[in-house]
Amino acid sequence: MARHEFQPGRLIAGLFLTLAGVVYAGDAGEAWDTPWFVVIPLVTVGLCLAAAAGTLAHGIRRRRRRALPTREAQEEARPHGGAGL
């Protein structure tokens, strides 16, 4: 059993922010030359994709919870007033 729910929005945000950090570190370490305007769109696109993935995942989770019957409904549906067999 997992310790927490998988959150794809946070994963995507983390990947894009890590990528922006690597681009910035490579430019600072003079491994390559990055134009000044590259990091801002990279972070913006990453955050937009993370928001879309998070919203989609939240909708899926909410729909699954709504589809699962509650424990009380399961007990009422059992024969003999909810007593085990």
pLDDT of residue 55: 96
Burial of 40 (0-12, 13-18, 19+ CB in 10 A): exposed
- CA separation for the pair 36, 28 (Å, rounded): 12
Over the stretch 19-37, which tens digit does the pLDDT of each residue have?
Answer: 999 999 999 999 999 998 9
Neighbouring CB atoms inside 10 A of 67's CB total: 7
Domain boundaries along the sequence of the chain: 9-25+36-67
d(CA 39, CA 17): 9
What tens digit of pLDDT does each residue of 43-77 get? Answer: 999 999 999 999 999 999 888 888 877 666 666 66
